[in-house]
Amino acid sequence: MIRRRDNPTIYTPQTAHGWLAGQLAAHWGNSRFHHPGDAGEMVLAAANHDQGWVQWEQAPRINAHHRPADFLEMPTAEHIAIWRKSIAYMDSQSRYGAVLVSKHARFLNEMRLAMTVEPDADTERLRVFCTEQAAWEASALEELRGQAYYAPFCEETRLAAAFRLLQVFDWLSLLLCLDTVSESVVADVPGALPDERVSITLKSLSEDALTVSPWAFDVPAFSVALQTKQLPAETFPDDAALQAAWQATPLSFRVITFRAERV
């Protein structure tokens, strides 16, 4: 659950964040920016990279301060289980997409390991998860490289570009969900060639309109939708109270327009 801390506090389910990433992926690409892999499966992976959160989002829990728990506050074992579900969900539809989601999960958890000062049980859980996923990715890629259709997408340079592009969609969606965009530079964005990397700048044009420079999408303008909830209170006595409020709160909808700047 992603949180914008203002009044009222807006909560965005991880799954809605994923769908927003998928909407951006669906419009990605022009003469300057290409999908390095299968475009349809890239959209699928972006939209569903957090799909393992479905069950948790239906029954959210409070943290030690009686606020709805942020995803960074949950037990490591539970977080890893959700990552496994996300990867398995993708693998039921697209093994190529599942490899990208696995690499994304492993990258985030390897960063977490690198910042760990004192080893503990959670550190070991993270290490085991990353080791297991690296082995699974190697096996899955070996299988995919034996398929004529997938072999080109699994070439090292193209796979690295596809993985980086998934991270770009994830980060752009996070920026929109956090509603903190005035001007943000996103570096290392795959360009027209798999080994090309450029920087793009995400800028606010108005309250619900943004642009990207250089323009990276397939049409001059398009809109994306994000659904959220504005809960009636900041704190709750227990999980049951939060869950009752969550179920009773109607959805809010935000429409965001992307528009190429006029030259």
Q: Give the CA dihedral 37, 43, 45, 47, nearest 10 degrees.
A: 170
- Of the candidates 161, 137, 173, 196, the one whose C-alpha atom is nearest the C-alpha of residue 26 is 173
* Alpha-carbon span 33 to 191, nearest angstrom: 4
Is the pLDDT at 83 greater than 70, yes or no?
Answer: yes
Residues sharing a CB contact under 8 Å with residue 6, sequence separation 6 or more, in sequence order = none
Q: What is the pLDDT of residue 144?
A: 98
At 211 the three-state DSSP class reads strand
Please write the tens of the pLDDT for every residue from 29-48: 999 999 999 999 999 999 99
Of the listed ranges 93-102, 177-186, 189-198, the one predicted with least confidence: 177-186
Q: Which domain holds residue 186?
A: 2-259
Domain tally for the chain?
A: 1
Q: What is the pTM of this model?
A: 0.94
Task: Specify the residue for token string 């929109």.
Answer: 176
Q: What is the pLDDT of residue 250?
A: 94
Please write the tens of the pLDDT for every residue from 234-254: 889 999 999 999 999 999 999
Cβ atoms of 98 and 106 within 8 Å: the answer is no
Confidence band of 159 (pLDDT split at 50, 70, 90): very high
Is the pLDDT at 53 greater than 70, yes or no?
Answer: yes
Cβ atoms of 209 and 256 within 8 Å: the answer is yes
Mean pLDDT, all residues of the chain: 93
At 225, the amino acid letter reads A
